[in-house]
Amino acid sequence: MAAPRAELTSTGALRDTMAAYYRTLGDAAENKSAPVAWCSSVGPAELLRALGFAVHFPENHAAMLGAGRTANRYLPVAHAQGYSQDICSYLTSDIGAYLAGESPLSAFGLHGVPRADVLVFNTNQCRDVRDWFEWYGRQWNVPVVGINSPRSVGDVAEAEVDDVTSQLEALVPVLEGVAGARLDSARFAAAIGAAREASSLWEQCLKTATHRPAPFTFFDGTIHMGPAVVLRGAAEAATYYRTLLAELEERTLAGFHAVPGETLRLYWDGMPIWGRLRALSTTFAEFRTAVVASTYCNSWILSTLDPADPLRSMARASVELFIARSDGPKERYIERMVELYGIDGIVFHDCRTCPNNTNTRYGMPRRLSERLGIPTLVLDGDVNDLRCFSDEQARTNIEGFVEQLSDARGVSGRREN
């Protein structure tokens, strides 16, 4: 059996930070202390914050349903409304929970998800966010607006950045009308600056895992990325990541092992399997294998944000997003991560209901394995629908993969009891 993993002390500050965010959001919804906007996870959150909106991120809410292993209660409710079992299980579990009148946000004093005054999407992830938001728009008879982004972007062209910039510009008067306020340029620049600072700190946190042994893993990152998602553009995110970074740097200096006896290092591509994070973390740790980096956690590193050019830098960050790119740029990015983190093998999650953030279906794992000379493993699963995941099959596949890596490196991949 693997030794119990030591929880980061910063987790207490994380809980406080997230609870304060939800309380503020609940106050806006219940007491009308601020207008409420829904925003897709990599939508124009900084613009919304600059206009005074309290911002809700439904993907975060859906991930909570997945992590709490309640999503499968709600999926059939949405399917009964005509939503396919094959589309995004974030969408179907969230809508199903709403129809069931239940939400994990009740733990923070909210009476379900906050009712939106406007819903703002960006399709740089997928089309599903637009369909998702339009369902709520019809329910509440409120405006749904957003950005229709280019997809499968190769080398980013200025024309693509121009396109998204013009769409952002067109959003401003609509959002001003809902907010009842004009966009203040200084406040907007400050929101961009806060997002850039938090992004830089989050990147530094993730890069502590370049050290051997890694003080931090992908599984830690999926939890501690919360402020990078829901507080983008707010000062509280950077405040939290300064706390986390200080602890991770202390761990690094002390030679702390996030995975006791770490011998192998992996990269995770694709979405988390929210309902099995702890189980997967424990399984990899049992085999002395650290999943030290991921595409997913790195998606909230938005280094092109620039307070001196808010709209255009937001547009560039949107177009450059990993999920929106073609396979060529994606593969080059993963290659850089393999070198930076000293990766021994790559795990690809073939996410059943999220083809947009699944990179297993057009030959990428084989191409990277041949080019980099390292093995790859494909795990079948889903973000929220646990019917698509088998604990037994995953364990068997992971054990075989670790044995393959261990044989190649001449190391033992299992902890002694």
* pLDDT tens by residue, 198-257: 999 999 999 999 999 999 999 999 999 999 999 999 999 999 999 999 999 999 999 999
* CA 411/CA 132 separation, integer angstroms: 47
pLDDT-derived band of residue 417, with 50, 70 and 90 as boundaries?
A: very low
Residues counted in the chain: 417
Please report where in the chains the tokens 């809508």 appear, as a residue.
95
Question: Which of helix, strand or coil describes residue 381?
Answer: strand
Helices (H), 342-413: 364-372, 391-409
Q: What is the pLDDT of residue 6?
A: 72
Q: DSSP assignment of 16-39, as one string?
A: HHHHHHHHHHHHHHHH-SS-EEEE
Q: What CA–CA distance (Å, rounded) separates 207 from 9?
A: 19
What are phi and psi for residue 128, nearest 5 degrees?
Answer: -60, -35
pTM equals: 0.96
Residue 230 · residue 14 · CB < 8 Å: no
What's the one-letter identity of residue 365?
P
For residue 296, what are its two tokens?
């997913």
C-alpha of 91 from chain center = 15
Residue position matching structure tokens 């957003």: 146
Both tokens assigned to 253: 């200096």
CB 36 within 8 A of CB 117: yes
* Per-residue pLDDT band at 5 (split at 50, 70, 90): low
Q: Which residue has the tokens 């890596």?
A: 405
> Residue 253: which residues within 8 A CB-CB, separation 6 or more?
none
Across the range 187-201, mean pLDDT stands at 98
Taking only the tens place, the pLDDT of each residue in 56-100 is 999 999 999 999 999 999 999 999 999 999 999 999 999 999 999
pLDDT for the residue numbered 408:
83
- In order of their start, the domains of the chain are 11-183 (3.40.50.11890), 188-409 (3.40.50.11900)
